[in-house]
Amino acid sequence: MKRLHIALIYNGSTEVAPESPTDRASTADLLEMIRMMARTLRRLGHQVTVLPLTHDFFAFQRKLRRLNPDVVFNQFEDFAHGASDDMRLVAMLRLMGYPHTGAPALALGLSHYKFTIASLLAGAGVPIPPNTALLETVGSVNQHKWRFPLIVQPSQEHAGLGLGRDSIVSSKKALRQKVRDVLRDFRQPALVQHFLPGREFNVGILGGRKMQVLPLAEVNYTELPTGIPPIMSYAAKWMEDSVEYQRTSIVCPAPVEPELARRIEKVALSAFRAVGGWGYGRVDVRLDENGDPCVLDINCNCCLDEGMGLARSAEQAGISYPQLLETIIKAALERPTTTMRGRRPSATLLA
């Protein structure tokens, strides 16, 4: 790959609540990942400008125009949970004519609404958990015929937010209480789905026009004590001092029979393409009572920490961390851009 000027952007807002030192989703961990990515890209011979984005989109737009990078490596996430600033940013980059890594604006927008994603997948023939429903009131619990156990979570969050030890319910009474909690604590509808009892897999996907499914990773919940549900809760994902984090592990490559692996890969790739994913991402899949794969969630711009998640699966495919980042950039450059680059975008772009 020729030498590129890369703008590496991330959420630079300092208006955050105090964070636990054991929270792996903290700002400190984000900054360490950004520094590591910048070092890796520079070692590959690229010019890298690290560019934090705060709430002033107009100032950011002016800085980006002055830099005029060859490609934007997008590591921005929303300023606040439930916002859509990531979609807004990517739409702006697209209109300005700058190639960017990862998903387009529509895919990012869809990813904020779990029920919308599930409905889209079902319409495309991609299997999702039974009993998928969006509940906007506690009273709406009585409008459905439920198949217990159920899993209940906020419908517009990600990264495990709102998933905890009480998220699996086995009665209408418990369902009403959990829906009430979600409505009160997150001020958004609750997503309810039948809880699938089978194995859970993270399916990494890499590439643009030609997508590659990476070796499967399996979430191992077998060491969890009785009373803690086998789900990827916020604690299991991020809180290093929690039992969930310490007793939940990832096995990669997963020990899976070839035929089952092919079915999981097919379902995951179909889901990723259905929502318009591009460049890289992760699809979470769980097996139902019959051993059939169903899509739980799609993370279009998943974490790129070295040795974790997507990077771990890539390593099992013989793709080093530097090669992973370059592959993601190549996919960004494959995507057609608009013709506005070099022109002065109208201020109405961000209105």
166-179 pLDDT, tens digit per residue, is: 999 999 999 999 99
Q: At what angle do helices 114-123 and 258-274 cross, to 10 degrees?
A: 110
Nearest Cα to 214, choosing from 260, 258, 269?
Answer: 269
pLDDT recorded at residue 25: 54
* pTM of structure: 0.91
Q: What is residue 196's DSSP assignment?
A: P
Domains of the chain by start residue, with CATH: 5-101+337-350 (3.40.50.20), 128-194 (3.30.1490.20), 200-334 (3.30.470.20)
pLDDT for residue 92: 94
Q: What is the mean pLDDT of each run of 10 residues along the chain (351 residues)?
A: 95 62 68 96 98 89 96 83 80 95 95 94 97 97 96 92 95 98 96 98 97 98 95 93 96 97 98 97 98 97 95 98 98 75 44 38
Helix (H, G, I), strand (E, B) or coil at 229: coil
Position 56 scores a pLDDT of 87
Q: How far apart are CA 9 and CA 85, in angstroms?
A: 13
SS3 21: coil
Whole-number pLDDT of residue 81: 57
The answer to whether the bond into 253 is cis (omega within 30° of 0) is yes
Q: What is the DSSP string of 48-117?
A: EEEEEE-S-HHHHHHHHHHH--SEEEEE---SSTT--HHHHHHHHHHHHT--BSS--HHHHHHHT-HHHH
Residue type, 4: L
Euclidean distance between CA atoms 6 and 332, whole angstroms:
12
Look up tokens 């439930």; give the residue.
82
The candidate with the shortest Cα–Cα distance to 50, out of 24, 30, 79, is: 30
Q: For the purposes of burial, counting CB atoms within 10 Å of the CB of 95, is it exposed (0-12), middle (13-18) or buried (19 or more)? A: middle
> What span, in angstroms and rounded, lies between the C-alpha atoms of 316 and 312?
7
